[in-house]
């Protein structure tokens, strides 16, 4: 309890509290708001931007073998290749939201590293967590087992 009336303050709800209680409660609210905003906005803001691919890229035999067994392949040149049944598809690793890097976790799930929760499916369609814009897709040419991506 406060020692005298001068130390009492009224809250917005009309409740009398001591100056110490008032400041303590205000600090708790400010801290909770700032921590909440920080955890929401800095998901992975420090991750590097994705790489913009253009041109032509032919997979090595080892890359093709890895793709055929894992059904997805993350390439540092800025391309993801997936195998959907007998069909190969290639997508950009540059996120259409804020240019984060996309990494395939499986052939069905391509995730943005900057804003975790933003996922693109095997057709490149976004789930709407941050964007519904599809990933840029590239042409995959299968020449007797040699895959070439062009875009």
Residue 118 touches ligand FES, criterion: CB under 6 A: yes
Catalogue the E-assigned strands of 1-151. 8-10, 16-18, 56-58, 72-75, 79-84, 87-92, 102-106, 109-112, 119-120, 137-143, 146-150
- Considering the complex, state which of residue 73 and residue 95 has its C-beta at the smaller distance from ligand FES: 95
- Alpha-carbon span 106 to 103, nearest angstrom: 9
**Part in contact with ligand FES (CB under 6 A); list of ranges 12-20, 24-32, 72-80, 90-98:** 90-98
Asked if 92 and 135 count as a contact pair (C-beta separation under 8 A), the reply is yes
Query: Token pair 């067994």 is at which residue?
Result: 69
**Part in contact with ligand FES (CB under 6 A); list of ranges 7-15, 31-39, 81-89, 91-99:** 91-99
Residue 64 touches ligand FES, criterion: CB under 6 A: no
Residue 136 touches ligand FES, criterion: CB under 6 A: no
Residue 78 touches ligand FES, criterion: CB under 6 A: no
Query: Smallest gap, in angstroms, from Cβ of residue 116 to ligand FES?
Result: 9
**Part in contact with ligand FES (CB under 6 A); list of ranges 10-18, 55-63, 70-78, 111-119:** 111-119
Asked if 94 and 54 count as a contact pair (C-beta separation under 8 A), the reply is no
Angle at 14 between CA 12 and CA 16, to 5 degrees: 110
**Part in contact with ligand FES (CB under 6 A); list of ranges 12-20, 24-32, 77-85, 114-122:** 114-122
* Among the listed residues 114, 135, 147, 151, the single contact to ligand FES using CB under 6 A: 114
- Alpha-carbon span 64 to 62, nearest angstrom: 5
- Alpha-carbon span 28 to 24, nearest angstrom: 6
Binding site for ligand FES (CB under 6 A): 95, 97-98, 100, 112, 114-115, 118, 130-131
């Amino acid at each position: 309890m406060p020692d005298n009336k001068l130390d009492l303050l009224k809250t917005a709800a009309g409740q009398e509290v001591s100056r110490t209680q008032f400041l303590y409660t205000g600090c708790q609210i400010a801290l909770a708001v700032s921590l909440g905003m920080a955890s929401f906005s800095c998901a992975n803001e420090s991750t590097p931007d994705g790489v913009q691919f253009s041109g032509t890229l032919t997979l090595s035999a080892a890359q093709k073998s890895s793709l055929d067994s894992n059904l997805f392949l993350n390439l540092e040149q800025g391309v993801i290749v997936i195998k959907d049944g007998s069909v190969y598809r290639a997508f950009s690793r540059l996120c259409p939201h804020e240019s984060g890097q996309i990494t395939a976790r499986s052939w069905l799930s391509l995730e943005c590293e900057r804003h975790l929760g933003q996922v693109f499916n095997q057709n490149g369609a976004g789930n709407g967590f941050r964007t519904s814009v599809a990933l840029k897709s590239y042409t995959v040419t299968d020449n007797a087992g040699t895959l070439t991506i062009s875009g």
